[in-house]
């Protein structure tokens, strides 16, 4: 399995002499923060991985994250822009005992690659400077190659839970009655393909997130952080149960839980700061995946479930952000000028 794009990303010149827009600053900042975290996590995974094929994918992902960080840092230096602290070697102990089995590394990389594609893909359309747009285009291309490698290996090793098959339609048809939207009362139709797709995706995400939370709860140092992870584990278990029952009601399968892929280690490989930021990020992305599912859902009962789940995720993210702020762990993103504060000077 070949490495992804062996050469460093080419950071083009600023041909327009324009400053970075708010969108460019925000997306570059988020890319730097997310990938400094990824470097910490993946360097730890690389230290423990035993399966040679999985090791190659982990190394490719680590190399990709390192090159993303290097490219953004070059842009910031060129712009005389403050380089975020992000996450450093202080936040990881590569020699800590193994916390997850090799198989889990593939599921984890699938989850984080999906998040990366979402972040970078949206960025491309918002960038006005050609050099920044070119960088994020490379990010999308490289991350797509990575997730293809991950999926190919998941399939090869029999770890991939495929979305269920549905029969081909016999002909093209059109919806004739408003009852198509029913979910609570009256004639309730079977789930359509896009609804099944997003149920499967969100179940898969919850299974991965729950396994991470189990591992993090075992190794967290502060009681407040440990309690936060245990609460998150309960939330993901509840969400998994709610969404899986929607499929079970129609005799459709759900992706398996991944709890057995967590070891019994209680020695922390990561700082509480990194683990807290990681879980707040993962749950923040959950609002996007639930929102996407809601956008493609036409049955009222399933839509209502996503609405309730979104509220729970939002509360959890806010509580996590408060913990990060209380401990001085939350780095401030770029922001607009506070005109009221300036007026008081």
3-state secondary structure 270-285: ECHHHHHHHHHHHHHH
CA distances from 10 to 19, 67, 132, 134, 282 (A): 19, 10, 11, 9, 29
Reported as a single tens digit per residue, the pLDDT across 141-163 is 999 999 999 999 999 999 999 99
CATH 1.20.1260.10 domain locations along the chain: 22-156, 178-326
pLDDT at 5: 47
Give the C-alpha separation, 189 to 142, whole Å. 40
Residue 4 pLDDT > 50, yes or no? yes
Query: Which of 108, 149, 251, 280 has the alpha carbon at shortest distance from 190?
Result: 251
Percent over 70 (pLDDT), the chain: 94
Highest mean pLDDT pick, 172-181, 194-203, 298-307? 194-203
Query: Which of 141, 188, 155, 181 has the alpha carbon at shortest distance from 303?
Result: 181
Mean pLDDT of the region 71-82: 96
Quick one: fold of 22-156? Ferritin (1.20.1260)
Total residues found in the chain within this entry: 345
Give the C-alpha separation, 257 to 279, whole Å. 18
Q: What tokens does 219 get? A: 């190794």
Mean pLDDT of the region 289-316: 94
CA distances from 206 to 168, 175, 251 (A): 29, 32, 20
Give the C-alpha separation, 320 to 330, whole Å. 10
Give the C-alpha separation, 7 to 234, whole Å. 43
Mean pLDDT of the region 234-254: 96
For 168, which DSSP code? P
User: What is the band of 7 on the pLDDT scale with cuts at 50, 70, 90?
Assistant: low
pLDDT at 186: 66
Residue 12 pLDDT > 70, yes or no? no
Q: Helix, strand, or coil here: 92?
A: strand
pLDDT at 57: 98
Give the C-alpha separation, 53 to 229, whole Å. 31
| Least confident among 49-63, 162-176, 311-325 | 162-176
Residue 6 pLDDT > 60, yes or no? no
pLDDT at 339: 79
Do 104 and 261 contact (CB within 8 A), yes or no? Answer: yes
Mean pLDDT of the region 247-255: 95
Q: What tokens does 31 get? A: 């890319």
Residue 118 pLDDT > 70, yes or no? yes
Q: Which residues contact 115 (CB under 8 A, 6 or more apart)?
A: 281, 282, 285
Reported as a single tens digit per residue, the pLDDT across 184-226 is 666 788 899 999 999 999 999 999 999 999 999 999 999 999 9
pLDDT at 3: 53
Residue 75 pLDDT > 90, yes or no? yes
CA distances from 118 to 72, 84, 112, 242 (A): 18, 22, 10, 25
pLDDT at 172: 87
User: What is the band of 269 on the pLDDT scale with cuts at 50, 70, 90?
Assistant: very high
User: What is the band of 183 on the pLDDT scale with cuts at 50, 70, 90?
Assistant: low
Taking residue 100's Cβ as centre, other Cβ atoms within 10 Å add up to: 23
Give the C-alpha separation, 251 to 36, whole Å. 42
Mean pLDDT of the region 284-308: 93
pLDDT at 341: 79
pLDDT mean across residues, the chain: 93
pLDDT at 116: 94
Residue 96 pLDDT > 60, yes or no? yes
User: What is the band of 8 on the pLDDT scale with cuts at 50, 70, 90?
Assistant: low
Mean pLDDT of the region 300-308: 93
- Options 1.20.1260.10, 1.20.120.1730, 1.10.3720.10, 1.10.630.10; CATH for 178-326 is 1.20.1260.10
Mean pLDDT of the region 42-56: 97
Reported as a single tens digit per residue, the pLDDT across 332-345 is 999 888 778 778 87
| Least confident among 7-21, 42-56, 138-152 | 7-21
Give the C-alpha separation, 115 to 202, whole Å. 13
């Amino acid at each position: 399995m070949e490495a992804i794009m062996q050469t460093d990303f080419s950071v083009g010149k600023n041909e327009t002499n324009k400053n970075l827009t708010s969108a460019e600053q925000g997306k570059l900042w988020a890319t730097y923060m997310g990938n400094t975290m990824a470097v910490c996590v993946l360097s730890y995974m690389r230290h423990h991985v035993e399966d040679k094929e999985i090791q190659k994918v982990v190394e490719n992902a680590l190399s990709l994250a390192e090159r993303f960080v290097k490219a953004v840092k070059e842009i910031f230096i060129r712009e005389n822009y403050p380089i975020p602290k992000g996450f450093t070697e202080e936040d990881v102990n590569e020699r800590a005992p193994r916390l997850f089995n090799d198989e889990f590394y593939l599921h984890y990389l699938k989850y984080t690659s999906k998040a990366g594609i979402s972040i970078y893909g949206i960025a491309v359309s918002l960038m006005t400077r050609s050099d920044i747009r070119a960088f994020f285009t490379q990010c999308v291309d490289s991350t797509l190659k990575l997730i293809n490698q991950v999926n190919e290996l998941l399939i090869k090793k029999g770890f991939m839970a495929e979305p269920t098959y549905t029969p081909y339609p016999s002909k093209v048809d059109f919806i004739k009655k408003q009852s198509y939207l029913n979910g609570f009362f009256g004639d309730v139709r079977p789930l359509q393909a896009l609804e099944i797709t997003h149920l499967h995706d969100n179940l898969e995400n919850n299974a991965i997130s729950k396994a991470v939370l189990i591992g993090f709860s075992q190794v967290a140092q502060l009681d407040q952080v440990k309690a936060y992870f245990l609460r998150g584990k309960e939330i993901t278990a509840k969400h998994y149960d709610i969404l899986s029952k929607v499929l079970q009601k129609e005799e459709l399968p759900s992706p398996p839980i991944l709890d057995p892929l967590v070891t019994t280690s209680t020695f922390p490989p990561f700082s509480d700061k990194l683990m807290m930021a990681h879980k707040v990020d993962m749950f923040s992305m959950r609002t996007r995946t639930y929102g996407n599912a809601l956008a493609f859902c036409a049955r009222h009962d399933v839509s209502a479930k996503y609405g309730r789940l979104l509220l729970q995720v939002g509360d959890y993210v806010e509580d996590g952000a408060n913990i990060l702020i209380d401990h001085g762990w939350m780095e401030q993103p770029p922001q607009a000028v506070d005109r009221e504060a300036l007026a008081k000077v």
